[in-house]
Amino acid sequence: MSYASKVRFLDRTTPPHIVTLILLAGLSALVMNIFLPSLPNMTAHFETDYRLMQLSVAVYLGVNAVLQLVIGPISDKLGRRPVILWGLLAFCVATVGCIYAPDIYTFLAFRMAQASVVVAMVLSRAVVRDCVPQDQAASMIGYVTMGMAVVPMIGPAFGGVLDQVFGWQANFWLLLFLGLGMAWLSWADLGETARASGLTLTEQFKQYPELLTSPRFWGYALASGLASGAFFAYLGGAPFVGTEVFGMTPAELGFFFGAPAIGYFLGNFISGRYSSRIGVNRMVYVGSLINGTGVSLSILVFWLGLGSEWTFFGFMTFVGLGNGMVIPNATAGMLSVRPHLAGTASGLGGSIMLGGGAALSALAGALLVPGSGPWPLLWIMLGTAGGAIIAIRFVIWRASRLAGLDTAG
């Protein structure tokens, strides 16, 4: 019996509807980027400088990374459902704190607490792996993470308009209402999908070495982390490039900012349609090459003196396309290295990805200064894209070596 035939929407005694999983992933993505066009105005509101305000991206990603280390094992032990529900409620409380923060430091503290929404991203993927095998999981994760493409596609543009009309706080009011809505939908539709674990939480955490000593897990995790590193560097640096290099308004920046999400949507669609036929390794490799090609073309155009906001943001669609192919397939690979540790693998892999993303986002914000142009950001993105290609080539090389051998990765 297929997954779809077993599902009844808003019936938590059946597997969750894919719409619920898509919306969970979408909310997590929206929290990351809806307010980015407002960063210059928020900098003025809190009477601080851009580098400190930009930490609202880096600290959010950093706390995301730390939380994912514990979310996976906890959900393997206690179940996906309670962790998702409590995480969403904590996110709503933190969002209220962001709205009423009196200064930049209070805002950053509540912004870190908003990272509890990461349960939506991590566990929506683990739920998929709970229900279906690896290649089908890659396809389903591709569709699920479409929510992480569609929402950011319109999020910054909508956020820029909200800022211009109502002020930057309007973005966080929207996030609060959406968080409450997702908490209700998860309560109504998402039953428990994890198999009961007979291990204590301490024993769950002791399972990490089983993953950390797997070369195949590291290959997939680094391919995903480095490919997405180009995108996270973009998150940290593109608002500066748009505002300082191209002189864009928040609404204009919001319109252009979603360019990678267009490519990401298409990449997710390709993953959903073809991963089960082509295989995860080949999909990750092709996606990594496309990611690197987009950044290389942007560097070439700027070197020729032809760079503009249209070329800079336009070539970022290739970065999005590559990530849309890499992330769902590399994630399915990570979760299938040790299927009984799917939640732990999802959390650890996500932690590696977002921890690196936080560092790259902060690095981009630190290196971009008046007069630097887009060059620091573009070189960071090129370096991470190249690293992703090396990582997946290692996985493919190792698979060819072990072909025909009954050897665990």
Over residues 117-158, the pLDDT tens digits come to: 988 887 887 787 777 666 676 677 767 766 665 675 677 778
Over residues 15-26, the pLDDT tens digits come to: 788 888 888 888
User: Which tokens is 221 given?
Assistant: 């995790």
Number of helices (H) and strands (E), helices first, in the chain? Answer: 20, 0
- Residues 334 and 224 sit within 8 Å (Cβ to Cβ): yes
Q: Residue 184 and residue 203: Cα distance in Å, rounded?
A: 32
Judged against a pLDDT cut of 60, whether residue 97 lies above it is answered with yes
Q: Determine the distance from the C-alpha atom of residue 39 to the mean position of all C-alpha atoms in its chain, rounded to a whole number.
A: 20
User: Which tokens is 360 given?
Assistant: 């790259």
Domains of the chain, start order: 13-193+200-402 (1.20.1250.20)
pLDDT at 74: 83
Judged against a pLDDT cut of 90, whether residue 318 lies above it is answered with yes
Question: In degrees to the nearest 10, what's the CA dihedral of 39, 44, 48, 54?
Answer: 0
Could you give the C-alpha distances from 208 to 123, 186, 389, in angstroms and in order?
Answer: 17, 28, 25
348 compared with 92, residue with greater pLDDT = 92
- Residues 362 and 55 sit within 8 Å (Cβ to Cβ): yes
Q: What's the pLDDT band for 197 if we cut at 50, 70, 90?
A: low
Q: What's the pLDDT band for 10 if we cut at 50, 70, 90?
A: confident
Judged against a pLDDT cut of 70, whether residue 204 lies above it is answered with no
Q: What is the mean pLDDT of residues 232-249?
A: 86
Q: Residue 74 and residue 86: Cα distance in Å, rounded?
A: 12
Judged against a pLDDT cut of 80, whether residue 96 lies above it is answered with yes
Q: Residue 51 and residue 319: Cα distance in Å, rounded?
A: 24
Residues in CB range of 63: below 8 A, 6 or more apart: 112, 113, 115
Could you tell me what percent of the chain has a pLDDT over 70?
89
Q: Residue 284 and residue 252: Cα distance in Å, rounded?
A: 33
Judged against a pLDDT cut of 50, whether residue 409 lies above it is answered with no
Could you give the C-alpha distances from 17 to 14, 188, 389, in angstroms and in order?
Answer: 9, 11, 34
- Residues 23 and 147 sit within 8 Å (Cβ to Cβ): yes
Judged against a pLDDT cut of 80, whether residue 13 lies above it is answered with no
